[in-house]
């Protein structure tokens, strides 16, 4: 099912059946996005519901020629970024061990073979284990395609800090993938 201009108009007119259809459609499309930015299902669902309300409120701004799925995803990602900004003052987002980590800029290009043996969902589970800010930067840069400048503006950090978090996320993921690969090799032997 796709969201047609007719369904959008019915949602604007507060047609409950159309809103339910849109909710179900968006749920399958956008919950994976919410999971990338939250560590548990409850928080992901809360983020989804808040984002869906923003989508409903902004439907009158949707042009008929716009790809609804891409537009809804952009609204949801912006909502997730807003939630991050609102919550960041309540959490410490860089731990001492993160600051003490040595960055290895030269190894970013090295391919890790463990990654090719893991599925997307398993890698995303590993991303959720990263420090929250590094995971957000990784998602925005790698998955959503934002530049470091855009990430810096959205998350209220410098471009250099965004690059640092991406490098940290990649390094930690590389370490986790190598541990998984070593564990899998031991199991084969």
Q: What pLDDT score was predicted for residue 20? A: 95
pTM, 2 dp = 0.61
Q: What pLDDT score was predicted for residue 65? A: 85
Task: For the chain, list the domains and their CATH numbers.
Answer: 5-88 (1.10.1740.10), 96-188 (1.10.10.10)
DSSP string, 11-75: HHTT-HHHHHHHHHHHHHHHHHHHHHH-SSHHHHHHHHHHHHHHHHHHGGG--TTS-HHHHHHHH
Residue 188 CA to residue 183 CA, distance in Å, equals 9
Instruction: Report residues of the chain scoring pLDDT below 70.
Output: 89-118, 185-189
Q: Copy the structure tokens of residue 47.
A: 């983020």
Among 140, 4, 142, CA closest to 67: 4
Contact 7, 22 (CB under 8 A): yes
Helix (H, G, I), strand (E, B) or coil at 108: coil
């Amino acid at each position: 099912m796709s969201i047609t201009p007719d369904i959008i108009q019915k949602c604007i007119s507060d047609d409950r059946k159309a809103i339910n259809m849109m909710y179900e459609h968006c749920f399958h499309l956008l919950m994976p996005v919410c999971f990338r930015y939250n560590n548990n299902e409850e928080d992901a669902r809360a983020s989804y519901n808040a984002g869906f309300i923003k989508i409903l409120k902004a439907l009158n701004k949707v042009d008929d020629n716009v790809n609804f799925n891409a537009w809804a995803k952009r609204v949801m990602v912006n909502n997730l970024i807003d939630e991050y900004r609102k919550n960041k003052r309540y959490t410490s987002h860089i731990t001492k061990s993160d600051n003490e980590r040595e960055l290895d800029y030269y190894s970013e290009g090295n391919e890790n073979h463990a990654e090719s043996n893991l599925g997307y969902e398993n890698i995303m589970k590993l991303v959720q284990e990263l420090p929250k800010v590094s995971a957000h930067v990784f998602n925005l840069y790698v998955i959503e395609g934002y530049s470091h400048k855009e990430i810096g503006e959205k998350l209220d950090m410098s471009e250099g800090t965004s690059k640092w978090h991406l490098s940290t996320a990649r390094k930690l993921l590389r370490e986790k993938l190598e541990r998984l690969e070593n564990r899998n090799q031991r199991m084969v032997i």
